Structures are given as C-alpha cells and as structure tokens.
Structure 1
Amino acid sequence: MRLVSSRASKLLIAAGLASLLAACQSGRTQVASLEGYTPDPALKTASKSNLKGRVSHACVVTQSKFQKVAESSVAQPCGCYAERTLSTLDSAEIQSYRTTGYFNDSAKAKALNALDSCKLPRPV
C-alpha cells in the first residue's frame, strides 16, 4: 500500500529541502535562492509531528548528499536535529515556517544550533 503518492512525496522532499537549505543561508541570499518556490499548502495544517518528519527527511536527504554517505547513517542525527529545532521554535517561528515553507532568521539561528548539538556539519 502506498502511503504517499509520487507527486506528494516529491513535493514533500522539495519543501523539506528548501526549508533546510533556507535555514542555512543568510538574509538576502535566501530570498534570491527561493525565487519561484511555492510552499506545500499542507504545511498550513500539518501537525507538529508531521513538521518534525518533514524537517528530519529534508535533513537526511541533504546531509547524506553533503557528507556523501548513506541516508541511513544520518537518520538518527537528523531526527535529533528535527526534534531540537522544532522544540526550540516559538509559535511565531512555526507559523512563519507554515506560511513560507522555510525558517525565518530567528528560526535559522536555532536550526544551526541544533545542527551543532546533534553533531551534523553545517551545509556550506
């Protein structure tokens, strides 16, 4: 049984990657790199648990490519990253993420701290 359609999974991956990459970029560069990006409408009503899964999945995909390792080897640290990041975000930061599909400046700082805490390298 397929839990998620192919198109939905592609949108999920794209939204997650965009949020992780946006979290690691600075102010003006972030806006330019996300030009034309449309956030997944499901973010607006997604549970916090679902948001954690999205962030974790984006981390796994990004970190495995960045580190050139198997996705399974970064799954646990990425779960740590997603948990720590979302647990530190306040309601305004979560609402911003739901609306835009990426972390705002204050949430980016928290996401970077979570990467460090979970011993994941920061993307360049």
Structure 2
Amino acid sequence: MRFRTLLAAGLLALGATAALAGASSSQLEAYQPDPTLRTAPRPDLESRVRRACTIVQARMQNTAESSLDRPCGCYARATLRALDPAELDAYRTTGYFNDSARAKALTAIDGCKLQRPV
C-alpha cells in the first residue's frame, strides 16, 4: 500500500500524464487517494509533493535523493503556490493534479530545473 501511495503521488505530483495514460483501467480504479489529504495543512501537502518529486527525480536522474532537496523544494512551493482553490481542492479529493494543475506543475518543473517525466 505504501509503495502504491508513493508511486501514485510521485507520478501524479509531477504531472506524469503519459505514465497514467499507460496504466490499465484496473490499476487506476484500484488507486485510492489518502483520506488525510482532505484535511492536511498546506505544509503537509508541500511535504508530500516534495517527497514524491525527490523519489521520482532520483530514479529518473539516477542520483541520490539528498541531492534533490533544494530543486524539489522549489518545485513543491512553486506548484502549490500556483494552484487556484479549485485545483487544490481537486488534488485533495483525488490525490493527483487535474489537467490545469498539471500544466502549472510542468511549468514549475522547468523553472526549478528538474527533468520532465516522459
């Protein structure tokens, strides 16, 4: 369960549309967002997004997670700051960024000099 949550958070927080598009419908139907997202304070949301970024970017770049603390912190802050209330509410409800939030997340990836997911 923890792996599935981290994987989903990593893919979704980074706006990995292609990865989700390749997932089978049974995998997507099986995904259940963490219920604590609904009431989590903003710093906890930022921490989750930062952690997911760190995990995914470390794998993509084949580097240590610790080397990504600063750029993933930049990404998490920039992304959450850019979300409007409806996008933030959608994230809290579903556990992933909707299309408009995903576009903002990709802008933050570029601005924080991280690799875009494929």
Q: Into which bin does the TM-score normalised by the smaller protein fall?
A: 0.7 to 0.9
- TM-superposition CA deviations, 1:23-77 (whole Å, max 9, x none): 1216x82784633110000000001110000000000000001100000111110
Taking the aligned partners of 1:48 and 1:71, their CA distance within structure 2 comes to 23
Runs of at least 5 residues in structure 1 that lack an aligned partner in the other structure = 1-6
What SS is found at the alignment partner of 1:35? helix
Structure 1: which amino acid aligns with 2:37?
L
Aligned to 2:32: 38
What's the C-alpha RMSD, in Å, of the aligned pairs? 2.2
1:118 and 2:118 correspond: no
- Residues 93-118 of structure 1 show CA distances to partners (whole Å, capped at 9, x for unaligned) of 00000000000000000000000000
Choose the corresponding residue for 1:29, options 21, 32, 55.
21
2:80 pairs with 1:86 = yes
- Take 1:83 and 1:35, find their aligned partners in 2: how far apart are those partners? 29
- Given that residues 9 and 52 in structure 2 are in contact (C-alpha distance below 8 angstroms), is that contact kept between their aligned partners in structure 1? yes
Percent identity over paired residues: 50
- CA distance in 2: counterparts of 1:116 and 1:87, whole angstroms: 15
Question: After TM superposition, where is structure 1 displaced by more than 6 Å over at least 4 residues in a row?
Answer: none
Q: In the alignment, residue 17 of structure 2 is paired with which amino acid? A: Q
Contact kept? 2:37, 2:92, Cα under 8 Å: yes
Give the deviation of 1:14 after TM superposition: 4.2
1:17 and 2:17 matched: no
Instruction: Give the count of matched residue pairs.
Output: 115
**One-letter amino acid matched to 1:73:** S
Structure 2, unpaired ranges of 5+: none
Contact 1:85/1:110 (<8 A) preserved: yes
